[in-house]
Amino acid sequence: MAAGSICFGSAQLWPGRDTFYLLLFSLMYPVHTIACKLPVHLKSRFLTEGHLIMKRILAVIGSPRRNGNTHILVSKIVEGARANGAIVDELFLGELTIHECDGCHACWKGKECSKNDDMRAIYPAIIQSDVIIFGTPVYWYGPTALMKAFIDRFVYFNCAENRQKIKGLSAALAVPFEEDNLDTAGGVVEFFQKSLAYLEIKLLGQIIVPGVGEKGAIRSKSKYLQQAYDLGRQLA
């Protein structure tokens, strides 16, 4: 497995090309020469004292299908983030085992979550991240059951000790849906706004895309895909 990659379930996650570019230059050249040799779009990732700044981003796809509109939209954000030097890992919730929270609050008592599932590996990934991208289609005016179960397990961070572990964490939101009325996504947006604010996670941006019911329909929405790419660059 490549340096910086992680595995969840059957999915192997790799850093972006620019991340390897930065690491390669840091090995090949002395600190004082790296900045002048880097491509222009990566120079801002290098501090004057010679430390590489690479944001770590976790992209969470809450759609049950790969290559659908949510996956495509989130992938554009990821593409933009990697182009600006970020390390991005992707989670496909539909391919993971994430049980519902039963409110036992063992995690508030210094214990491991009582659910022996993939969240035990995901918690460290969340803690190590600078930004989380949440991607979900609209199902009955809310997020998918996959995404809701995932967010419910954030109760782990709802105690003082664990809350400190995500201090400074930020987020972005990607929501494609079938109807043309933007109000259709209102419940999803409000759900994330309130949940993230409660956990003191700053929402840095959101991409809401109406009128994409058929699988892959979002490919024709070039304006939104460009906005997603631009958002990714900003997140990095």
Q: Is the pLDDT of residue 16 over 90?
A: no
Q: Is the pLDDT of residue 9 over 60?
A: no
CATH architecture group of domain 55-235: 3-Layer(aba) Sandwich (3.40)
Which pLDDT belongs to residue 218?
A: 96
Helical pair 222-235 and 69-83, crossing angle rounded to 10 deg: 40
pLDDT band at 110 (very low <50, low <70, confident <90, very high): confident
**Can you tell me the mean pLDDT for 90-115?**
91
**Can you tell me the mean pLDDT for 114-143?**
95
Q: Is the pLDDT of residue 17 over 80?
A: no
Q: What is the DSSP letter of 166?
A: G
pLDDT in tens, 24-64: 555 555 544 444 444 444 444 444 444 556 899 999 999 99
For the chain, the average pLDDT equals 84
**Can you tell me the mean pLDDT for 219-236?**
96
Instruction: Report phi then psi at 142, rounded to 5.
Output: -145, -175
Q: Is the pLDDT of residue 209 over 60?
A: yes
Q: Is the pLDDT of residue 200 over 60?
A: yes
Kindly report which listed range (105-114, 154-163, 169-178) carries the lowest average pLDDT score. 105-114
pLDDT in tens, 171-185: 999 999 999 999 999
Q: Which pTM value belongs to this model?
A: 0.79
Contacts 24+ apart (CB under 8 A), 158-165: 158/108, 158/199, 159/107, 159/108, 161/110, 162/107, 162/108, 163/199, 163/200, 165/127
pLDDT band at 88 (very low <50, low <70, confident <90, very high): very high
The full set of domain ranges for the chain reads 14-53, 55-235
Which pLDDT belongs to residue 112?
A: 84
